[in-house]
């Protein structure tokens, strides 16, 4: 039986089209995916992301443990209220999951992991944690609501005290604060400004209703996918898997090599791959002619298949088909095979759009 978030009933009451996503009943949209997409790009939208997993890592060895299991280095989090994005790797350098790690105090870190990897991640971490002085605690009693868009903080502020609203606005990307039993983080998965709020499940429904009264549009999985694709953000299970390394998923920037004594899981394998040369990379594709690019469509160049699309869709912001594809070699043009026909595409650097700026191909944004 599929699981339900604390907001399931209100999704249904709002006309949410409920679908299965990683074993959870989640809203695909509330009538128009494109309208929801534009709401986030132009003003503000909100997402129920309570299906994601929250794992607390507590104890004297919490930092040492996370420096071992994560490719990025939590030692960068030099004080409370900072977070970082990282991959959780296997010894071969394959991506078990991507996650965000938050430092609440020197012996207390919080991980937010993907819905479809909650069990796998916890079992993997629990196996490794046996040799450390720490506790791993799953937090199913918590909900997560993301409020995203250029107007997100303005619309959220009236629901907070004056001082708290000012503190939230002062947060920089990947900073967070704790307000009683709520965690408010300047993070997101849309390429826009905004926050992700971790709060007690029993408070989620009333808070969602308050956000609705502020004119914040409820948005489903469909808009979340096109938003993250435009922003060049990976989706676990398609753009990265246990069979792909960060090098192959445009995530080399998440590997911290600086401390040569930090022997994190996967380091040896990644170093060997880097020395031998990286054969495949994740790039962006733009198609000028009408239509939609789809996952798994082959990518060709000069009569040879050089890769395939990992994520493809129509971009409501750009008004054309876009995709991420894993390819071999270096080229600026290619063709995508669609129903036996070769369609010309342009290969571009990710992301397709920048934060809150609807322009083509700016410098990459940081998740």
Packing angle between helix 118-129 and helix 62-69, nearest 10 degrees? 120
pLDDT number for residue 362: 32
Confidence of residue 200 (pLDDT cuts 50, 70, 90): very high
CA-based R_g, the chain, Å: 20
pLDDT of 359 above 80: no
- Work out whether the CA dihedral 180, 185, 189, 194 comes out positive or negative: positive
Express as a percent the part of the chain with pLDDT over 70.
96
Show the CA angle centred on residue 106, arms to residues 166 and 169, nearest 5°: 10
pLDDT number for residue 147: 99
pLDDT of 40 above 50: yes
Whether residue 226 contacts residue 233, with contact meaning beta carbons closer than 8 Å, is answered with: no
Average pLDDT over residues 335-342: 92
Confidence of residue 339 (pLDDT cuts 50, 70, 90): confident
Say what the pTM is: 0.95
DSSP of 248-284, one letter per residue? GGT-GGG---S-TT---TTHHHHHHHHHH---EEEEE
pLDDT of 18 above 70: yes
Confidence of residue 355 (pLDDT cuts 50, 70, 90): low
Average pLDDT over residues 264-285: 97
Distance CA 282, CA 89 (A): 18
Paired tokens of 295: 């996952």
Whether residue 18 contacts residue 25, with contact meaning beta carbons closer than 8 Å, is answered with: yes
pLDDT of 360 above 50: no
Show the CA angle centred on residue 307, arms to residues 304 and 311, nearest 5°: 145
Confidence of residue 340 (pLDDT cuts 50, 70, 90): confident
- Quickly count: other Cβ atoms within 10 Å of residue 284's Cβ: 21
pLDDT number for residue 354: 76
pLDDT number for residue 195: 98
Distance CA 91, CA 191 (A): 31
Ordered alpha helix ranges (H), 102-149: 118-129
Average pLDDT over residues 20-48: 98
pLDDT of 252 above 50: yes
Whether residue 125 contacts residue 136, with contact meaning beta carbons closer than 8 Å, is answered with: yes
| Full 3-state SS string of 37-93 | HHHHHHCCEEEECCCCEEEEEECCCHHHHHHHHECCCHHHCCCCCEEEEEEEECCCC
Ordered alpha helix ranges (H), the chain: 8-13, 33-42, 62-69, 118-129, 152-156, 162-170, 201-213, 221-230, 267-276
Whether residue 63 contacts residue 109, with contact meaning beta carbons closer than 8 Å, is answered with: yes
pLDDT number for residue 116: 97
pLDDT number for residue 111: 99
Confidence of residue 231 (pLDDT cuts 50, 70, 90): very high
pLDDT number for residue 37: 98
Beta bridge partners of 336: 299, 343
Average pLDDT over residues 108-114: 98
**112 CB contacts (<8 Å, ≥6 apart)?**
52, 53, 54, 55, 99, 100, 102, 144, 196, 198
pLDDT number for residue 365: 27
pLDDT number for residue 364: 28
Q: How far is CA 13 from CA 7, 30, 219, in A?
A: 10, 10, 14
pLDDT number for residue 99: 98
Task: Give the chain's length.
Answer: 367
Ordered alpha helix ranges (H), 259-364: 267-276
| DSSP tag of 366 | P
pLDDT number for residue 361: 32
């Amino acid at each position: 039986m599929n699981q339900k978030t604390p907001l399931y009933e209100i999704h249904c009451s709002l006309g949410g089209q409920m679908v299965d996503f990683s074993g959870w009943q989640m809203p695909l949209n509330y009538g128009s995916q494109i309208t929801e997409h534009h709401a986030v790009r132009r003003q503000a939208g909100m997402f129920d992301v309570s299906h994601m997993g929250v794992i607390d890592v507590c104890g004297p060895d919490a930092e040492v443990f996370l420096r071992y299991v994560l490719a990025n280095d939590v030692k960068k989090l030099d004080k409370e209220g900072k977070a970082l994005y990282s991959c959780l790797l296997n010894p071969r350098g394959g991506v078990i999951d991507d996650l965000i790690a938050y430092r609440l105090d020197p012996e207390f870190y919080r991980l937010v992991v993907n819905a479809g990897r909650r069990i796998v991640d916890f079992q993997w971490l629990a196996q490794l944690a046996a040799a450390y002085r720490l506790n791993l605690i799953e937090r199913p009693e918590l909900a997560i609501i993301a409020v995203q868009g250029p107007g997100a903080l303005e619309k959220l502020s009236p629901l907070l005290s004056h001082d708290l609203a000012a503190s939230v606005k002062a947060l920089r990307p990947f900073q967070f604060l704790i307000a009683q039993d709520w965690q408010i983080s300047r993070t997101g998965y849309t390429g826009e400004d905004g926050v992700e709020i971790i709060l007690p499940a029993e408070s989620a429904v009333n808070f969602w209703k308050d956000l609705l009264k502020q004119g914040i549009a409820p948005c489903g999985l469909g808009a979340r996918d096109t938003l993250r694709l435009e922003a060049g953000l990976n989706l676990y299970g398609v753009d990265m898997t246990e069979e792909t390394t960060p090098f192959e998923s445009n995530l080399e920037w998440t590997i911290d090599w600086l401390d040569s004594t930090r022997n994190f899981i996967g380091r040896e394998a990644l170093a060997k791959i880097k020395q031998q040369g990286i054969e495949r990379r994740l790039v962006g594709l733009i198609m000028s002619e009408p239509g939609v690019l789809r996952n798994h469509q082959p990518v060709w160049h000069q009569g040879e298949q050089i890769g395939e699309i990992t994520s493809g869709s129509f971009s409501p912001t750009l008004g054309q088909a876009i995709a991420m594809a894993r390819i071999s070699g270096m080229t600026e043009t290619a063709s995508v095979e669609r129903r036996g026909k070769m369609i010309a595409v342009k290969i571009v650097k990710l992301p397709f759009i920048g934060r809150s700026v609807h322009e083509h191909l700016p410098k990459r944004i940081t998740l």
